[in-house]
Amino acid sequence: MSHKQRKPFLPLNIAVLTISDTRTRENDTSGDYLQTAAESAGHKIISREIVIDDVYKMREVVSRWIADDRIQVIISTGGTGFTTRDSTPEALRVLFDSHIEGFGELFRAISYEEIGTSTVQSRAFGGIANRTLVFALPGSTNACRTGWDKILLEQLDASHRPCNFVPHINIIEE
């Protein structure tokens, strides 16, 4: 038996941001998936918004959430491609205290098995700002499923071993 005790699951407070010029709450399947998956895993959705793909509107929402002591994780969906309107990396990376380089690398490695070389067009990324985890996923529901099911589900679980992201965030005392 290991000398390290397995830590218990700790529900996290998550905010979900959909970045799209066309999505609404009625047709935001990617945001719906992320909310349902997070809640099914035992986490709590604290806030959910949709903004157009505008650098300053994205920064306004994410900066507000980073400053909110209740929010521990931010997951965005959309705006990570190469079209002229895709500006999520440019909008959010400047807010980070540190970058999680392995997140985008792992996302693309997993995606390669699903969509082949098309994954090179994904600019999925992650970082930490004010002890808040921030992850940016592509806008497709399948990409959100890949990011959540194959990376975030385990990495946002304090009981996952040998390591996870939970020690890097603010722990909220009840």
- Each residue's pLDDT tens digit, 93-133: 999 999 999 999 999 999 999 999 999 999 999 999 999 99
Q: Would you tell me how many other CB atoms lie within 10 Å of the CB of residue 24?
A: 9
pLDDT recorded at residue 83: 82
Residue 8 domain-assigned (yes or no): no
**Distance between CA atoms of residues 17 and 34, nearest Å:** 10
pLDDT recorded at residue 3: 47
Under a CB-based contact definition with an 8 Å cutoff, are residues 137 and 143 in contact?
yes
Tally of structural domains, the chain: 1
What domain range is 123 assigned to?
13-168
Residue 46 domain-assigned (yes or no): yes
| Domain CATH for 55 | 3.40.980.10
Burial class (CB in 10 A: 0-12, 13-18, 19+), 55: middle
Please state the pTM of the whole predicted model.
0.94
Residue 7 domain-assigned (yes or no): no
Residue 5 domain-assigned (yes or no): no
73-77 and 13-19 as β-strands: parallel, antiparallel, unpaired? parallel
